[in-house]
Amino acid sequence: MATRTPFIAGNWKMHKTHAEAAAFIAAAKESLAATQTVEYAICAPFTALQAVADAAKGTAIQVGAQNMYFAEKGAYTGEVAPGMLQALGCAYVILGHSERRQYFHETDDMINKKVLAALAHGLKPILCVGEDLEQRERNLTNEVVAVQTEDGLKGVTAEQLADVVIAYEPIWAIGTGRSSTAEDANAVIGHIRQVLARKFGNEAAGTVRIQYGGSVKPENIATFMAQPEIDGALVGGASLEADSFVALVQGAQK
């Protein structure tokens, strides 16, 4: 069986100025250094990325963005290009978050272009997939995540898949305090891995990290990590305080 390093990513969403971001890293870095068997990243707003990258220098804290555009450069007012993130030292970029799909009308096709552009620039995409409440109630969860996974990864090679992280985030569990059960998240993530195996082969599928996201906290992280298919978490609210983020990383040790 493939060993997959647990991976905790904090998705700060639209929170923290650059100064607040630097203070967070200063407060968290020593305690984080004690946990060496977990990989961790902070996905900050664009305006705080430089501050996070500077403050995290010399530590194992990796830096991620929360979105980007797929074009190299050009007349796209307000957008940020992959090469700009790479130049800042970003390792990861969250793509296709449900909030981007819902509020900014991102489609699977657009997200796929972003995934390909990220990989072409040495950025590792954290591709988000997940069903809404209505889809869950109509038993469409597996179908929805399969389409989002397949369409999001069109044109990605089995070799490139090693640099992709998938985050399964049921929309009804995001910021609601109502998390999925660990068993249920494990089953959906197992299904996503089967979809990957069909497309890329068992070996490639076995090495991809698939995170759970949706109301993950220090109190429930260990329950999720105890599941065989769950390789980490993409965490919103509970990643905003240094102590809480440190506890999540500590709790993610398998």
Task: Give the separation between CA 70 and CA 231, rounded to whole angstroms.
Answer: 27
Among 106, 121, 169, 191, the one annotated catalytic: 169
Is 239 assigned to a binding site? no
The piece of 22-30, 110-118, 141-149, 167-175 that touches ligand 13P (CB under 6 A) is 167-175
Is 97 catalytic? The answer is yes
Is 172 assigned to a binding site? no
Residue nearest to ligand 13P (CB): 236
AA identity, residue 45: P
Task: Give the separation between CA 158 and CA 47, rounded to whole angstroms.
Answer: 34
> Which residue in the set 61, 65, 205, 216 belongs to the binding site for ligand 13P (CB under 6 A)?
216
Among 39, 97, 121, 191, the one annotated catalytic: 97
> Which residue in the set 48, 235, 246, 252 belongs to the binding site for ligand 13P (CB under 6 A)?
235
At its nearest, how many Å lie between ligand 13P and the CB of residue 98?
7
- The first and second tokens of residue 162, run together, are 């090693």
Three state DSSP letters for 203-244:
HHHHHCEEEEECCCCCCCHHHHHCCCCCCEEEECHHHCCHHH
For residues 52 and 21, the answer to whether their CB atoms sit within 8 Å is yes
Interaction site with ligand 13P (CB under 6 A): 11, 97, 169, 174-175, 213-216, 234-238
Active site residues: 97, 169
Q: What residues form the annotated binding site for substrate?
A: 11-13, 175, 215, 236-237
